[in-house]
Amino acid sequence: MSDGTPADLFFDAAIGLLQRVREEEAEAITAAGTLLADTVAAGGRLFAFGAGHSSLAAQDVVYRAGGLALMNLLAVPGVVGVDVTPATLGSALERVGGLAAAVLDTSPLRAGDALVIISLSGRNALPVEMALNARALGVKVIGVTSVAYAAQTTSRHSSDTFLKDHCDIVLDSKIAVGDAELTLDTIPAPFAPASTVVTSALMQAVMATTAATLADRGIEPPLLRSGNVDGGHDWNGRVMAEYGDRIFYRH
């Protein structure tokens, strides 16, 4: 690191990455938002999945004020976050073959739905098989990943493929392998990950595109409002009643 405080340098790194995805992924963001809008207009349902810290960006678009009411979390027990004990179990479960098939077999996902799969490395068995099996069901898959991992690491799936190889649309977060933006002579390891900032921004950019695309077609986007503003609960109750058959986080 050179001039500037560690905080300044982290903000610079994060802003630089955001600028890159804004410019380089604009076409893919538009395509992803259009795919989700197409799914909503056709009566399909929307799901998001992520394992470990990648789950944070998936959770951020579910039951969210200002977000699409139809986005559901596809949860895999033990890998949704660091709440499982020991936390290392989640990392181990990402490498277990067959887990994705078991989850999809018991999930409400069906042909005509759309699934966003978030995995920074995209190399583990769980996200790869999730994409493979979902597409086999007739589900459209959007992958959010760092494509750099496919060039600089090896796959942990028996097919030697990555998440990016099994998606209808790929959004590249541009995060460097290792997910740490800063180095310091006095610290033996790189530090300051930015993947959550960038991936969450990508997801919200796609959600915004979806909402605007629906509106352009004359379809009111099913958005949630904050329960902390007057009338918010009534608004959300109306949306949930209208789209209750496509909302699964209430059941």
* Nearest to 248, CA basis, from 98, 78, 81, 115: 115
In whole angstroms, what is the distance from residue 132 CA to residue 184 CA? 40
pLDDT of the residue at 88 = 85
pTM: 0.95
CA angle 74, 80, 81 (to 5 degrees): 155
pLDDT of 96 reads 79
pLDDT digits (tens, 9 = 90+) for 148-173: 999 999 999 889 999 999 999 999 99
- 7-50 pLDDT, tens digit each: 999 999 999 999 999 999 999 999 999 999 999 999 999 999 99
Flag whether pLDDT at 238 surpasses 90: yes
Please report the pLDDT score of residue 37 as a whole number. Answer: 98
69-110, pLDDT tens digit by residue? 999 999 888 887 777 788 888 888 888 788 899 999 999 999
